[in-house]
Amino acid sequence: MALRLEDWICDNIFDVAKQEGWFFAVTYYAVRDPRYLRAEVCWSESVKNWKKAKPIQYPSFEEWKASTAQCDETSHLTARERKARSSAKLVHPNRLAEAVASYMDYEALAYWARPALESSSLLPTDVAREIERRCPGYLPLRSTVSEQTSSDSAQGWERLMLWTGDHFFQDAKSEGWFDAILIQVRNHPRAIRTMEFADHCDKVWSSKLPEPYPPFADWRREADLYVELPG
């Protein structure tokens, strides 16, 4: 009966999403939402507890939803994952949301600059100018490191993101909730779309960097509109 109800909801409530082919995107993000995870934990605990002793009166849907809000969505995770997710409780949701948005901005900058950073040719002037404007002090450090290692080009994107974390998210790191930023960014629709667009650009630009290199604002706008079509 539960599976039939689930199928009915999918077919009747989300029929437009299914017809247009983006229903899987709905479920992808839904199952990663803390509300879904708390409901899943509450359901699991209810099944276990009610096998031992059924409630005298079956709770209403609103009562059950209220009880899900009290569940710990991390209880079924590994200790490491639980610690990372629990770190979100160390910061106000609004502050965390602002940090997540800021981190995605820097990550998008790194994705945009990645082909140039990992190219053997000189860094385009516009790319260097944009990085210096948003990450002042990074390029001189990168030049110093490049002289000390021959593998710098393969680590351009990673180095920029590590530098960004150390310089712009010190409070999150010192207060213990930096992992919460990474978790939310990893599952954020905009971050995923940006990553897929960056991979697309890597393929298109694999033989040669574009001339002129697209401005970051234009690239970010295209990333937000990018749709990866099947096939």
- For residue 59, the 8-state DSSP code is P
State the Cα–Cα distance between residues 98 and 230, nearest whole angstrom.
33
Residue 127 is predicted with a pLDDT of 95
Same-domain pairing of 53 and 103: no
> Angle formed by the axes of helices 138-148 and 125-134, to 10°?
120
Please answer whether residues 87 and 176 qualify as being in contact, where contact means their C-beta atoms are separated by less than 8 angstroms. Answer: yes
Identify whether residues 7 and 57 lie together within a single domain: yes
* Cα–Cα separations (whole angstroms), residue 83 to 47, 71, 79, 183: 26, 16, 6, 11
Domain-terminating residue out of 56, 76, 96? 76
Q: What is the pLDDT of residue 203?
A: 92
Same domain, 106 and 32: no
DSSP 3-state of 42: helix
> Percentage of the chain with pLDDT > 90?
51
Lowest mean pLDDT among 1-5, 74-78, 85-89: 74-78
| Same domain? 97 vs 193 | yes
Report the alpha-carbon distance of residue 158 to residue 111 in Å, rounded.
10
Q: Confidence band (pLDDT; 50, 70, 90) for 135? A: very high
Q: Mark whether 106 and 145 lie in a shared domain.
A: yes
* Local confidence band at 13 (pLDDT 50, 70, 90 cut-offs): very high
Q: Are residues 105 and 216 in the same domain?
A: yes
Q: What mean pLDDT do residues 82-88 have?
A: 81
Inside any domain, residue 221: yes
Q: In terms of domains, do 26 and 120 share one?
A: no
Confidence of residue 143 (pLDDT cuts 50, 70, 90): low
Handedness of CA 149, 153, 155, 158 (dihedral sign): positive
67 and 97 fall within a common domain: no
Which of 86 and 13 is assigned the larger pLDDT?
A: 13
Q: Mean of the per-residue pLDDT values for the chain?
A: 87
CA distance 162 to 156: 10
Helix (H) / strand (E) containing 206: none
Same domain, yes or no: 63 and 163:
no
47 and 132 fall within a common domain = no
Domain identity same for 55 and 113: no
Q: How many domains does the chain contain in total?
A: 2
| Domain-ending residue, one of 41, 76, 111 | 76
> Is pLDDT at 70 greater than 70 in this prediction?
yes
**Among candidate residues 76, 107, 128, the one where a domain is terminated:** 76
Model confidence pLDDT, tens digit, residues 151-179: 444 467 889 999 999 999 999 999 999 99
Give pLDDT, residue 147. 44
Confidence class of residue 9 from pLDDT cuts 50, 70 and 90?
very high
25-67 pLDDT, tens digit per residue, is 888 888 878 788 889 888 888 888 888 888 889 999 999 889 8
Task: Please report, for residues 18, 50, 106, 196, the alpha-carbon distance to residue 135 in angstroms, rounded to integers and kept in the order given.
Answer: 43, 56, 9, 24
Residue 186 within a domain: yes
Instruction: Give the structural domain span for 112.
Output: 88-225
Contact 103, 170 (CB under 8 A): no
User: pLDDT higher for 3 or 142?
Assistant: 3
Is the preceding omega at residue 212 within 30 degrees of 0, hence cis? yes
143 and 207 co-located in one domain: yes
CB 95 within 8 A of CB 179: no
The answer to whether residue 99 sits within a structural domain is yes
Mean pLDDT of the 102-117 span: 96
